[in-house]
Amino acid sequence: MKRIADYTTIFADDDIVVLNKRSGLLIAADRYAPDAPRLDLSAEKEFGKLYAVHRIDKDTSGIIVYARNPEAHQNISLQFQERTVEKTYHCLVHGHPLWNDGILTVDLPLLPDGDARHRTVVNKKLGKHSLTELRLIGSCGNFSWIEAKPKTGRTHQIRVHLAQSGFCIVCDPLYSGNQKPIRLSEIKRNWRGDELDEQPLLSRLGLHAYKITFTHPKTGERLTFSAPYQKDMDALRKQLAKIYGIDPLEQNADA
């Protein structure tokens, strides 16, 4: 079986590196999984020392930014602290949201490592302020594409806020009651194939860090980068678009 590359490079200069990572990689050391594969260690073979300025979940694919020197690290970290960085995620959920105008703002305090499975939980007493803007891109049969813009950066924030709103991301091993892979035979009418040989279109968390906007630490230029979907999620996107006419990339551009 061909090995999937850990990352592709979106942008790099002397101060920053912007990568598109595969699902299944930590972006830095994690006390709960000290031996898990890490993106920073993989990318440092190409770029040298990298400094993490933000995190995305191990199971999430998509865009990640690293600083290449202490000065850039301090600058971009401050941008995240001051919440001037804009982040956009795409995900596929089970069900059909009926939000007014297709938009929902979720403001629920979150406490990380809140249960025996190390999940983030809503806790109004001990949780930290957490805000996510959700927009329905479009529904496809039993699924819906959602655009999520977290205004804070809590662990598993999008996954928890969606679950609390009644919509779980597909193939989510922690927050979804339905973790089974998505297969073409389940979404295409009159599918003709061998169920024993069929490979799933998507068998990992259907959450992708799609776009990020921040200020370059040296030039002061406002930069926006987007990360193409990984091969598995893109194959699912194309099939759903072909069958239902809803493409999150086209709809996102229109919005």
Q: Which residues are catalytic?
A: 57
Q: Residue 254, Cα to own-chain centre: how many angstroms?
A: 21
Residue pair 46/6 in contact (Cβ under 8 Å)? The answer is: no
Between CA 6 and CA 21 the distance in angstroms is 6
Name beta bridge partners: 51: 67
Amino acid at 253: A
Amino acid at 90: H
Residue pair 204/24 in contact (Cβ under 8 Å)? The answer is: yes
pTM of the model: 0.94
Residue pair 182/170 in contact (Cβ under 8 Å)? The answer is: yes
**Consecutive H or E run containing 239:** helix 231-244
For residue 251, what pLDDT is reported?
67
For residue 179, what pLDDT is reported?
78
| Tens digit of each residue's pLDDT, the chain (255 residues) | 456 799 999 999 999 999 999 999 999 988 777 788 999 999 999 999 999 999 999 999 999 999 999 999 999 999 999 999 999 999 999 999 998 788 999 999 999 988 988 899 999 999 999 999 999 999 999 999 999 999 999 999 999 999 999 999 999 989 987 778 999 888 887 777 767 778 999 999 999 999 999 999 999 999 999 999 999 999 999 999 999 999 999 865 544
Between CA 154 and CA 68 the distance in angstroms is 24
Residue pair 198/184 in contact (Cβ under 8 Å)? The answer is: yes
254 to each of 226, 249, 250, how far by Cα in Å?
A: 15, 9, 6
For residue 217, what pLDDT is reported?
98
For residue 252, what pLDDT is reported?
59
**Consecutive H or E run containing 214:** strand 207-215
Q: Residue 95 has which token pair? A: 């069900």
| CA dihedral (145, 8, 55, 66) positive or negative | negative
- 3-state class (DSSP) for residue 248: helix
For residue 104, what pLDDT is reported?
96
